[in-house]
A and B are shown apart, each in its own frame.
Chain A
Amino acid sequence: MNGNELVKLIDTTLCTACRGCQVACKQWNEMPGLRTRNFGSYQNPPDLQWNTWTLIRFQEYEDKDGNFQWIFRKDGCMHCTDASCVKVCPSGALYYTDIKTVGIHHDKCIGCKECIAACPFDIPRYNKETEKVTKCDLCYSRIQENLPPACVKSCPTGALSIGPKDEMIKKAYAKVEKLGGDANVYGDKFVGGTHVIYVLQFKPEVYDELPVDPKVSKSIFVWKDVLKPLSLIAAGGVIGGSLLHYFTHGPHKPHPEHYSSNEKKQGGA
């Protein structure tokens, strides 16, 4: 392995929502399946959750002319170049890997949840039992063995692919050109460029839970560049975390518990 910059491309126009990726992720990462209820949708769990790092979102969309499309979007960590979560993480649990993705050392996580507040894409999730935050690490251990992430490998239709950044961005733009209309590439133009990019058929505002203009909050710059070094020296990560909380306004409310976590953890646990 080496330090090349990799990008995962999600071509939503090829996705069949088979959810091979959603389950393959749990299988490889040994995350349990938990109890859910059907809430009137194929989507389940209803949202990303501590045991669900990648989720297919189902959305019925009818445009103003009555054209109908069932939209499938794989949601998960975008692996920002300018990653708010890494900036705010007081313990060093979240870090940039040599392939420029955002890795996570679970043992270092102190459960301060500041990354959850900071993330412009609303990705990290907190596990009450372990008191740690979880998210996708793009299967860093697999990439080190030249294996694709579990989600990419499982994908039947080529909706998911991974490769050198330039190549993937080129591929994405070529596809968008072929599609025409409102098709667009999402991800390469903000937060320093993400390492997960989308080919979207419709404008970003059409999609559920997809920010149109994701940004790193200004206060995070203040924290990152001025105060974090001081606080770490002064009082260690935990106090640092609460100090950070004072500066940042979390864009997200606490996530509801969609299901109980005390159900049996068969399969992968």
Chain B
Amino acid sequence: MKITRRGFLTLSGAVGGGIALSSLGLNLKPTKAYADELGKMNRVKAAKQTITTCCYCSVGCGLICSTDKATGKIINIEGDADHPINEGSLCAKGAGFFDLTEANKHRLTKVLYRKPYGTEWEEKDWDFAISRIARLIKDTRDKGFVTKNAKGELVNRCETIGHYGSSNVDNEECWIMSVKCRALGLVYIDHQARV
């Protein structure tokens, strides 16, 4: 018997040379379903395997998510044995990655709103939140906008809105935020790199 860290949980054969413009999670060849006796193994073998990167420290360990094709839900997450850094291994947080998925009942699933002096969160929809937030941004920005500083120099900045975050979102999202802040004229711009 040969035990390998990789086993069938691997994607290296499919994508050794890189992926051009692929926007999809990659399926493994569907494997034959076994009898229910093997329980979880049976489900994992029949699942779609997708690679992701750990969202805690900055080592950047690779993980493989197994997603049940019928329900679309993730059923197992473990280390990507092909990843050159972690080689399949994970620490306690990485090993518990599954608990960040929908399986965790504490996940936020609704837009929440708390009105001034309110005592509870209320559920709202996206349209309400987006239009109300945009209005608040505009009113606050316009009211406190500094076109010229004390010396009379053109500064075009908004000192009345702050932005913090985030180093736990993707690069593309970081760039979007960085650009958004500048377009609005914000100067109180910071995130976790400071701490």
Contacts and interface: CB of A to CB of B under 8 A. Distances in A.
A141 B38 CA distance: 6
A256 B105 CA distance: 29
Interface in B45-70: 45
Interface string B85-125: 01011111111111100011110000000000000000000
A154 B89 CA distance: 4
Nearest to A149: B3
A28 B40 CA distance: 8
Interface residues of B, number: 35
Contacts of A164: 1
A45 interface: no
Given A18-B91, A153-B89, A266-B99, A146 B40 contact: no
Given A141-B41, A264-B105, A24 B95 contact: yes
Interface residues of A, number: 39
7 contacts: A30-B40, A141-B39, A145-B8, A147-B8, A150-B95, A153-B81, A266-B105
B3 A146 contact: yes
A162 B95 CA distance: 19
A156 B3 contact: no
B40 A163 contact: no
A4 B99 CA distance: 35
Contacts of A30: 40
A99 interface: yes
B92 A4 contact: no
Contacts of A33: 99
Interface string B1-22: 1111101110000000000000
Given A24-B78, A154-B78, A19 B92 contact: yes
A255 to B, nearest CB: 23
Contacts of B90: 20, 24, 154, 156
